[in-house]
Copies of this chain bind each other. A is one copy, B any other.
Amino acid sequence: MDRVQLSDNLDMSRIVHGHWRLADWDMSKQEILELVERCIELGITTFDHADIYGDYKCESLFGEVLSLKPELRANIELVTKCGIKLISKNRPEHKVKYYDTSKEHIIKSVENSLRNFNTDYIDLLLIHRPDPFMDADEVAEAFNQLKCQGKVLNFGVSNFKAHQFDLLNSRLDFPLVTNQIELSVLALENFDDGTLDYCQEHRISPMAWSPMAGGRVFTSEEKQAIRVRETLEKIKSEVNAKSISQVMYAWLLSHPAEIIPIVGSGKIKRIESAVEAMEIELTREQWFEILQSSMGHEVA
């Protein structure tokens, strides 16, 4: 498994396991532990969380899994996020959904994540969404404090556009190490609007959420999904892939921006399949065939 160096003290596995739906997989803690250990055998050592995943429950569930085998902590990288406040029975004080990137909330959220995970450090903390009310100086204060205390080793963002990244980065003594963005054969916005170009320019490897487009490629009857599915099937045959999922992973993995896909499945077969996709080589012609099937027209 390739590793991606994000900073002096952080490298990630090229494929990340995403725990967005961890609480929905109907697995016992022992089963999750076995899944995680199998991931590590495959070289997948980075696990992606957020405070809000599973209605604020995924972090603590994973923390309980780690408690079954505490020595795992030293062999994995924990990514989590903060900044969104959900309406939830687990947060009865929230009356509306909103963002909170105040120093107080960031620190409180991290303290809570540390408790949930039963750990004393987070490898990478991301601001979950660009906050139109963000005070960049205040975020920087929170980050500085958490870094000095050793509670968070590295910082990044998610779903930021270039100008939002610039704003926050301008206030930090250390650079943001990643931008976790939506990237898939059906989600081309970040390819078009400069976000991915910005990442490549600044040598920031982006993490890709929903790299399988939330399953729409497999089942949707929208025209775009049908076109893409047919093209993926054709190329699957050409490159001897086992599934169109593998072609979708290969499409992201082959991009020069060094995209880090987040595999969000609880099924070990699907995770293994994603790892195998690292071996698939697409020609430029094939890469553009897929792109064009999604755009619905030729490039200019």
Q: A residues touching B (Cβ–Cβ < 8 Å)?
A: 85, 94-100, 102, 129, 132-138, 159, 161-164, 166-167, 170, 191-192, 194, 196-198, 200-201, 255-256, 284-285, 287-289, 291-292, 298-300
Contacts and interface: CB of A to CB of B under 8 A. Distances in A.
A98 B299 contact: yes
A57 to B, nearest CB: 21
A131 to B, nearest CB: 9
Contacts of A288: 96-99, 133
A197 B98 contact: no
A198 B163 CA distance: 7
A135 B200 CA distance: 8
Contact of A285 (B95, B289, B299): B95
A194 B95 CA distance: 28
Contacts of A292: 96, 98
Contact of A300 (B137, B159, B284): B159
Given A99-B299, A132-B196, A159-B300, 16 more contacts: A97-B288, A97-B298, A98-B284, A98-B285, A98-B288, A98-B289, A129-B299, A133-B284, A133-B288, A135-B256, A136-B256, A161-B194, A166-B197, A167-B197, A167-B198, A167-B201
A288 to B, nearest CB: 4
Given A159-B300, A300-B159, A132 B167 contact: no
A163 B197 contact: yes
Nearest to A138: B256
A138 B134 CA distance: 37
7 tightest Cβ-Cβ pairs between the two chains A and B: A135-B256, A98-B288, A163-B194, A167-B201, A167-B197, A163-B197, A97-B298
Contact of A166 (B129, B201, B287, B298): B201
25 contacts: A96-B285, A97-B288, A97-B299, A98-B285, A98-B287, A98-B289, A98-B292, A98-B299, A99-B284, A99-B299, A102-B284, A132-B192, A132-B196, A133-B284, A133-B287, A133-B288, A136-B200, A136-B201, A163-B194, A163-B201, A164-B194, A166-B197, A166-B201, A167-B201, A170-B201
Interface centre among A96, A99, A191, A289 (most CB of B within 10 A): A96
A192 to B, nearest CB: 8
A162 B162 contact: no
Nearest to A84: B299
Contact of A284 (B100, B161, B163, B291): B100
Contacts of A167: 197-198, 200-201
